[in-house]
Amino acid sequence: AEHALEHAARMVEEGAAIIDVGGESTRPGAAEVTVEEELQRVIPVIEALVAALDVPVSIDTRKPVVMQAAVAAGAGLINDVTALQAPGAIELAAQLGVPVCLMHMQGTPQSMQDQPTYGDVVTEVKGFLLGRAGACMQHGIDREKILLDPGFGFGKTTAHNLQLLQQLEQLVEAGFPVLVGLSRKSMIGQILGLPVDKRLPAGLALAVLAAWQGAAIVRCHDVRETREAILMCQAVRDAS
């Protein structure tokens, strides 16, 4: 928890507006973590962050038990890669009253990169997310508390990811804030042949492309550099 707090404090100093905490990897092929292990990983960290920092903390989890404990510990946003599809998740989120980020994923982290297939990836991802947003509103979650994430790299080939980013405005135009996570993603490695630690310039380009089309939140590893790139993008957008 101490190490996480130091890292988060540095990110806030560099301009992070939200700190996202997750106790289970959702990378392709990642193994599942038990509820108990996930709770042991995230709750002390959330408590430390909430006590020390002035920015919202989000909990990245797909487990309702973890959502409930995290919000009780002070988390102010539920970030779910399965878009609240776990039994009881959507009802719990409505009861907790915090904003939710709904992400699209084809398959599970264990299987999602095993030949993902779409007829039209942009239409299908948008349709799924708007369907989940509708379900949330039917269960009493305010429209103003719903964010959408197209899930770059989650059950998508590089071609799918490129199409989604190229046409991100289609999702933005639906009227919900859109969150994107493109930092260090494998699509950069596949296109440029770069290892994870050499992907910053390409990641900044992707972040700017997303921001230019109206993404509201950019989830990243390299905060200062990404913030500066986004601010320059915003300055050009606002020039008129």
Q: Which of 50, 18, 57 is nearest to 179 (CA)?
A: 18
Alpha-carbon distance of 34 to 40, in angstroms, equals 10
Alpha-carbon distance of 170 to 167, in angstroms, equals 6
**37-41 LR contacts (CB < 8 Å, sep 24+):** 38/63, 38/66, 39/65, 39/66, 39/69
Q: Is 219 labeled as catalytic in the residue annotation?
A: yes
Helix (H, G, I), strand (E, B) or coil at 222: coil
User: Which residue out of 63, 132, 156, 185 is catalytically annotated?
Assistant: 185
Q: Is 62 labeled as catalytic in the residue annotation?
A: no
Residues annotated as catalytic are: 185, 219
